[in-house]
Structure 1
Amino acid sequence: MTDLADPAPVGRYGDEDRRRWLDEAPKSLQRTPFERDRARILHSSALRRLGAKTQVLGPATDDFVRTRLTHTLEVAQVGRELGKALGCDPDVVDAACLAHDLGHPPFGHNGERALADLAAPIGGFEGNAQTLRLLTRLEPKVTDPASGRAVGLNLTRASLDAATKYPWSAADAPLRPDGTPSAKFGVYADDAEVFVWVRQGAPDRVRCLEAQVMDLADDISYSVHDVEDAVVGGRLELEVLEVAEVRVRVAAQVRAWYGDAVPDAALDEAMDRLPALTTWVRGYDGSRRALAALKDMTSQLIGRFCGAAIDATREVYGPGPLTRYDAELVVPTPTLAEILLLKGLAVTFVMAPREQEPLYRRQREILADLVEVLGDRAPVALEPPFAADWAHAHDDAARLRVVVDQVASLTDVSAADWHARLVSPRR
């Protein structure tokens, strides 16, 4: 008996959506295959490690700042409710949201850029491609008894597809408006076999609806919550949008970081519209009353953005459950502009200034040093699962990928500890 004998799924999910790479006998008929997917991610070691990985500011910055784990849990809550309102199976969306950042390395996007440079000779590094690799290969849960091959969490096709934010390889990446290929991709060349299986029957380079919901939930969560963290941390006062010079700076950062997703006029209108909301916080002083007002603002913004997307999508597709490739998520331009404005505030007052800090250069050096020393001292310096991967690697490129897998698995804290133990004594 396999998962295909489980209780009927919600909505329009069929047998192929519920199929796993490796057939398994279900442990209980009381849970759907998608509920099991969610549980497997929730109990994974990769999810636990996110608690010590950077979201925007490092986990040790203060007690309030969000980590990758708290961000992930917030994305899952937003995505689950948004998906449910559209008729998606909430556990498929929840699983995708819980999984969406599993592949991110130490030190957030700073670490991702460092590993991308270090792994350039073997096809690069991308957090989303690393997520697929982790879900289907690296995270220990299921092994094929016939071949001995690890198949990761062995999730259903629907959940894996929902977790695939960029359903293409680096070689097949779509072109950006300036004619250059997107730097984002969702699969490495040596994971192509399982990617083809996941994407069976899917339109080329088109995300399923559940993946689109996950992506919007991610955008909503980090745009709103990064601003909240910045206000509480004393890095941003929301009154700045009343200053013409600041508005110009924020608009410039939106263009530099996020391109031309919305017209200039739409962004300008968002700069007028959001501060006019009755919940927009001014005069934040750190008191409980101010904290409560700030939390109310974030809650209202999340509801505002989700509600607009739900209404716009329903206007196009009507009532009834929308799943997989039945629909495209519709996000109105004014809503997208408001989300981008919040991202622009975080970039202007938090992300861009930190790029010049010595700490961030040091983080990239730590990862570069670890890749070098682990490559020299492998397999003995690797953790046992990665040492086994090293032993089975067929060439230098495959061995470098194993080293990158090991480094990417580390947390901010463990990367610094490994560096102190393995690199510092050599200097």
Structure 2
Amino acid sequence: MPSATVPFACDPAATRGRLHPEAESAFRSPFQRDRDRIIHASAFRRLKHKTQVFIEHEGDYFRTRLTHSIEVAQVARTIAKHLGLDIELTEAVALAHDLGHPPFGHTGEDALGRLMAPYGGFDHNAQAIRIVTRLERHYAEWDGLNLTWETLEGIAKHNGPVLPPVPYALAEYDAVHGLELETHASAEAQVAALSDDIAYNNHDLHDGLRAELFSTDELAELPILRDCFAEVDATYPGLNYYRRRHEALRRFFGVLVEDVIAVTEANLRDLDPRSPEDIRHAGRMMAQFTPALWSDLKVIRRFLFERMYRAPSVVVVRREVTRVIEELFPFFLTHPEELPKQWRKDVAEAADEVALARIVSDYIAGMTDRFALQSHDRLIGGVQDALRERAARSS
């Protein structure tokens, strides 16, 4: 039975299907099956050792791409259920949205983007499509996970229409299984995208506090959070330091979720969509924050940018891990024989330097933080010990 209850939700019984036809499950919907395949994918497991902001050895409590994806999925399920959308499709897109991130977070993506500029560029959303349609090679009859059109659409364009120039990895798949890149994604995918914003705005504050990059008192002066701390202080006077900030951040989290639900419901009432196609062709996102809350969030994001993402200690580590990517990429281009055996078969079939660069990019993008550091130390040397020493000095 479909989990959705509104006419504009994606109906698993009416899916546009899979690139490779296959018999459907007798007890799982197509979207539930997609979600399950994503959870069991090798790329999903590797997210546990891929960073958000802090790299792996800096602490066990900081978010990784895996814990972040689980938090995004939890928020997305909550919002989707309230709006009457298909919960499994929403969760599938949420769980897959970061599969294409290389090691070292946005630092790694920036480095790989510069290196791949002469070969078609690098984009983590496009890379996620490449992973789920090509690079996961476990099934007997096809490469990839053979996900439904709706899940692939959500991964490709949950942040909105994909405008030219389309990243090569996405253009390559779109040519054989068109994803209508010029339109918006389903309501389910849009909810997954806003849930990503909610999750990282909340947990980056947690992680920044744990790293002692700013204080609780500084957070209590920021928009939205100011009211959250005031409510906690009024309800629980004298509450201990750690519980106080946790209660305030809980309320901050709730404010964001409630705002998205209220605005999305208002947008949907205004549009009155009668099908998922009405959502795709609405010409604007349905899932949004209010302008006032979005303005406040931009203040918080500027604070995080200055105090966390560009903190001196973080910048030093960013510089070191950028070096890892920048040295591994040309090394494998000139020494493809150092790639693992299963990758060397693709190298043998590569038609030119562009094809070889894409293979190297795929390999590096799939690395975890620690494997990238280990590979660099083994093949080139000089980074991992310095990072460990710096982490020990700061602990």
- TM-score normalised over the length of structure 1: 0.78
AA of the residue aligned to 2:117: A
**Is the alpha carbon distance of 1:241 and 1:40 closer, same or farther for their aligned partners in structure 2, counting shifts above 3 Å?**
closer
Q: Do the aligned partners of 1:208 and 1:324 also contact (CA within 8 Å) in 2?
A: yes
**Is the alpha carbon distance of 1:122 and 1:217 closer, same or farther for their aligned partners in structure 2, counting shifts above 3 Å?**
same
**Is the alpha carbon distance of 1:292 and 1:168 closer, same or farther for their aligned partners in structure 2, counting shifts above 3 Å?**
same
Aligned to 1:220: 198
User: 2 CA distance for matches of 1:18 and 1:293?
Assistant: 49
1:47 is displaced (CA, Å) by 1.0
Matches within 5 A, 1:94-109: 94-109=91-106
Aligned to 2:381: 424
**Is the alpha carbon distance of 1:330 and 1:357 closer, same or farther for their aligned partners in structure 2, counting shifts above 3 Å?**
closer
Matches within 5 A, 1:314-325: 314-318=265-269, 324-325=276-277
1:92 alignment partner, one of 70, 89, 92: 89
Count of residue correspondences: 366
Aligned to 2:118: 121
AA of the residue aligned to 1:19: G
Most deviating of 316-325 and 85-94: 316-325
Contiguous gaps of at least 5 residues in structure 2: 280-285, 383-395
Most deviating of 349-358 and 307-316: 349-358
Q: Do the aligned partners of 1:106 and 1:412 also contact (CA within 8 Å) in 2?
A: yes
AA of the residue aligned to 2:118: P
Aligned to 1:377: 335
Q: Do the aligned partners of 1:18 and 1:156 also contact (CA within 8 Å) in 2?
A: yes
1:197 is displaced (CA, Å) by 5.8
Q: Do the aligned partners of 1:88 and 1:322 also contact (CA within 8 Å) in 2?
A: no
Q: Do the aligned partners of 2:12 and 2:31 also contact (CA within 8 Å) in 1?
A: no
- TM-score normalised over the length of structure 2: 0.83
Matches within 5 A, 1:63-102: 63-102=60-99
User: 2 CA distance for matches of 1:132 and 1:204?
Assistant: 16
Aligned to 1:210: 188
1:51 is displaced (CA, Å) by 0.9
AA of the residue aligned to 2:363: Q
1:152 alignment partner, one of 144, 148, 155: 144
1:225 is displaced (CA, Å) by 0.7
Q: Do the aligned partners of 1:227 and 1:342 also contact (CA within 8 Å) in 2?
A: no
1:396 alignment partner, one of 353, 356, 360: 353
User: 2 CA distance for matches of 1:356 and 1:60?
Assistant: 13
Q: Which has the higher helix share?
A: 2
User: 2 CA distance for matches of 1:96 and 1:237?
Assistant: 34
Q: Deviations over 1:12-63 (max 9, x none)?
A: 426663501111123x311111111111111111111111111011122112
Matches within 5 A, 1:234-245: 234-240=212-218
User: 2 CA distance for matches of 1:57 and 1:280?
Assistant: 31
User: 2 CA distance for matches of 1:59 and 1:49?
Assistant: 12
User: 2 CA distance for matches of 1:310 and 1:334?
Assistant: 15
1:207 is displaced (CA, Å) by 3.0
AA of the residue aligned to 1:192: A
Q: Do the aligned partners of 1:209 and 1:325 also contact (CA within 8 Å) in 2?
A: no
Q: Does 1:291 align with 2:242?
A: yes
Q: Do the aligned partners of 1:161 and 1:199 also contact (CA within 8 Å) in 2?
A: no
The secondary structure found in structure 1 opposite 2:196 is helix
1:166 is displaced (CA, Å) by 4.9
User: 1 CA distance for matches of 2:231 and 2:328?
Assistant: 45
Q: Do the aligned partners of 1:76 and 1:97 also contact (CA within 8 Å) in 2?
A: yes
AA of the residue aligned to 1:237: S
Most deviating of 102-111 and 203-212: 203-212
1:100 is displaced (CA, Å) by 0.7
Aligned to 1:38: 35
Q: Do the aligned partners of 1:167 and 1:205 also contact (CA within 8 Å) in 2?
A: yes
Q: Deviations over 1:290-325 (max 9, x none)?
A: 333333223222221111121222223239998744
AA of the residue aligned to 1:314: E
The secondary structure found in structure 1 opposite 2:101 is coil
Aligned to 1:135: 132
AA of the residue aligned to 1:371: F
Q: Do the aligned partners of 2:228 and 2:248 also contact (CA within 8 Å) in 1?
A: no
Q: Does 1:274 align with 2:271?
A: no
**Is the alpha carbon distance of 1:399 and 1:275 closer, same or farther for their aligned partners in structure 2, counting shifts above 3 Å?**
same
User: 1 CA distance for matches of 2:194 and 2:95?
Assistant: 14
Q: Do the aligned partners of 2:228 and 2:252 also contact (CA within 8 Å) in 1?
A: no
Aligned to 2:386: none
User: 2 CA distance for matches of 1:126 and 1:355?
Assistant: 27
Q: Do the aligned partners of 2:161 and 2:185 also contact (CA within 8 Å) in 1?
A: no
Most deviating of 307-316 and 98-107: 307-316
Q: Do the aligned partners of 1:88 and 1:323 also contact (CA within 8 Å) in 2?
A: no
**Is the alpha carbon distance of 1:92 and 1:322 closer, same or farther for their aligned partners in structure 2, counting shifts above 3 Å?**
farther
1:411 is displaced (CA, Å) by 0.7
**Is the alpha carbon distance of 1:272 and 1:413 closer, same or farther for their aligned partners in structure 2, counting shifts above 3 Å?**
closer
Q: Does 1:161 align with 2:145?
A: no
